[in-house]
Amino acid sequence: MKIRPEWMLPDLEAARKRTKLPSPRIDSFIIPEEAKWIGRNKKYYISTYGCQANERDSETLAGILDALGFERSMEPDHVDVILINTCAIRQNATDKVLGEIGNFKRFYYENKNLVIGVCGCMSQEEGFVENLLSKYPQVRLIFGTHNIQNLPEMLYSVIHEGKRVVEIYSKEGEVYENLPVHRFGKFKAWVNIMYGCDKFCTYCIVPYTRGKQRSRTMEQILDEVRELKEQGYKEITLLGQNVNAYGKDIDPNINFATLLEECAKIGIPRIRFTTSHPWDFSDDMIDVIAKYDNVMPFVHLPLQSGDSEILRMMGRRYTRESYMELFYKIKERIPNVSVSTDIIVGFPNETDDQFENTIKVMEECKFDNAFTFIFSARPGTPAARMKDSIDMETKSKRLARLNKVWNAYALEKNKAYEGRIVEVLVDGTSKKDDHVYSGYTDTNKLVNFTGENIEPGQFVKVRIKTGKTFSLDGEAI
């Protein structure tokens, strides 16, 4: 058994480095002899925050824990291991996590053998580990996004050697293949196509917490998609912080449009992808989405701001005009497409006029859905170092106004569905009423509908009766 290295603390300076070296690829996963079966008769619980990349990482954590003999529990009480997979994207995300770690303290005082572990993007932030170690004695394991594959050794050290383990590498990262996976969905699956991000938008922590852009090979992705199809999966979502940059780091001859087309040909009924950056969104991509029925007519296209100067300061590499051009191209070429977006209000020194430019784009695009945020300064990022003249009250008012605007258009869009028949992939029944089912349309609209004898994972035709701001109501036909 390898002795756990001395504590390794996050280092944003090291995390910022990008070399032209190819990313190491590691194909094998081996559980050390000593760690085998350390989970026999033991249970684990995983709590996940943040984006789909984290959801998918939690499936890997679960896969490794299963391989060690642990059993998954859906509740945090009476388990032996709790892992909290954290997100650092905004301050309120990190506050929630600290609240949860605080709540779990009582389990630790009931059972001192309980292992509470913290991993994910917050672990990669400077200062976080010291804070956890000093204020949260219940946390006995802290590891980063590049250390997941070492979970067996780390757990062994905590459980059998009584150590408090901290292992965080701040580096560009590798591509790990063949790590075990316990998929949480039975008919919808996440498929990583790339890791990390090289865009370094000035407000964003992700390039520091996740390392450089590393694409998986086409063969490996397509093998995974074929396997998912054989296992009966109905929907896959291809994941990357910026899927349209797929492949550029490994081979100039491959790109996302080719990958998407090859996935479509495998014939899984529904394919989605996220996120596509407006920069380098190619015409070929639009053509593939339009051409294949199983590539869903839905594009999440983060705008962030409708003002070109703010976009420049954000380092987004597009202007309001080029965004609009792309937006209209997508709308014209993909029949019935729906488009959602992300917006940040209150970027440092955003003036009223600059904010109005965002409102104008929202009024023009009439997005189907929007995720709207107040700028949150992430320590270590360039935007966090900017002096900011705008107070929080102004930012909150802008957010409320923006939400009012997009909500009205979302309602208008959803009202247009009334009377239409849509195809829904059923997720399950509503928590409140088991005669009400829910699922999503191809355009990613949430539908709640009544019906009889319907199973999750089925495709059902639903007649829409009412369009609401965030969902559609209907009945199965």
Segment lying near ligand SAH (by CB under 6 A), choices 161-169, 330-338, 371-379, 412-420:
371-379
Least distance between ligand F3S and beta carbon 372 (Å): 15
DSSP string for 85-108: EE--SSHHHHHHHHHHHHHTHHHH
| Closer by beta carbon to ligand SF4, 83 or else 88 | 88
Q: Is 263 annotated as a binding residue?
A: no
Look at residue 281 and give its three-state secondary structure.
coil
Q: Is 320 in the site for ligand SF4 (CB under 6 A)?
A: no
Residues that bind ligand F3S (CB under 6 A): 50-51, 53-54, 87-89, 120-121, 205-206, 209-210
Does 51 carry a binding-site annotation? yes
Degrees (nearest 5) of the Cα angle 156, 162, 168?
60
Among 49, 70, 187, 375, binds ligand SAH (CB under 6 A): 375
User: E strands along 13-66, which residues?
Assistant: 25-26, 43-48
Task: Please tell me whether residue 201 binds ligand SF4 under the rule CB under 6 A.
Answer: yes
What tokens does 172 get?
């560009």
71, 221, 56, 224: which is closest to 145 by C-alpha? 56
Separation between Cα atoms, residue 50 and residue 85, nearest integer Å: 8
Can you give 411-469 as a three-state secondary structure string?
Answer: HHHHHCCCCCEEEEEEEEECCCCCCEEEEECCCCCEEEEECCCCCCCCEEEEEEEEECC
Binding to ligand SAH, residues 82-101 (CB under 6 A):
89-90
The correct pick among 277, 320, 395, 398 for binding ligand SAH (CB under 6 A) is 277
Query: Which amino acid is residue 158, in one-letter code?
Result: V
Residue recorded with tokens 């301050």: 91
What stretches of 301-407 adopt beta strand conformation (E)? 338-345, 369-374
Is position 320 an interface residue for ligand SAH (rule: CB under 6 A)?
A: no
Q: Which of ligand F3S, ligand SF4, ligand SAH, none does residue 207 bind to, with CB < 5 to 8 Å depending on kind?
A: ligand SF4
CA distance 71 to 146: 24
Is residue 206 within the footprint of ligand SF4 (CB under 6 A)? yes
Count the residues in the chain.
477
Peptide bond just before 275 cis, omega within 30 deg? yes
For ligand SF4, which is the closer residue by CB, 196 or 439?
Answer: 196
Say which entry of ligand F3S, ligand SF4, ligand SAH, none residue 200 contacts (CB below 5 to 8 A, set by partner kind): ligand SF4
119 appears as a binding residue in the annotation: no
244 part of the interface to ligand SF4, by CB under 6 A? no
Nearer residue to ligand F3S within complex by CB, 246 or 409: 246
Q: Which option in ligand SAH, ligand F3S, ligand SF4, none does residue 175 bind, with CB closer than 5 to 8 A by kind?
A: none
Q: Which of 184, 177, 186 has its CA nearest to residue 218?
A: 177
Instruction: Return d(Cα 90, Cα 381) in angstroms, integer.
Output: 12
Q: By CB under 6 A, tell whether 200 contacts ligand SF4.
A: yes
Residue linked to tokens 């300064």: 377
Show the beta-strand stretches assigned E in 24-90. Answer: 25-26, 43-48, 71-72, 81-86
Q: How far is the CB of 259 from ligand SAH (least distance, A)?
A: 18
CA distance 141 to 83: 9
- Rounded to the nearest whole angstrom, what is the least distance from the CB of residue 45 to ligand F3S in the complex? 19
Give the nearest distance from C-beta 347 to ligand SAH in angstroms: 8
Contact status, residue 67 vs residue 40, Cβ threshold 8 Å:
no
365 is in an annotated binding site: no
- With CB under 6 A as the contact rule, the residue among 54, 124, 138, 242 that binds ligand SF4 is 242
Residue with the closest Cβ to ligand SAH? 342
Which segments are annotated as binding site for [4Fe-4S] cluster?
51, 87, 121, 197, 201, 204
Q: Using CB under 6 A as the criterion, which residues of the chain lie in contact with ligand SAH when the complex forms? A: 89-90, 203-204, 241-242, 275, 277, 302, 304, 342, 344, 373, 375-376, 378
Q: Using CB under 6 A as the criterion, which residues of the chain lie in contact with ligand SF4 when the complex forms? A: 197, 199-201, 204, 206-207, 241-242, 277
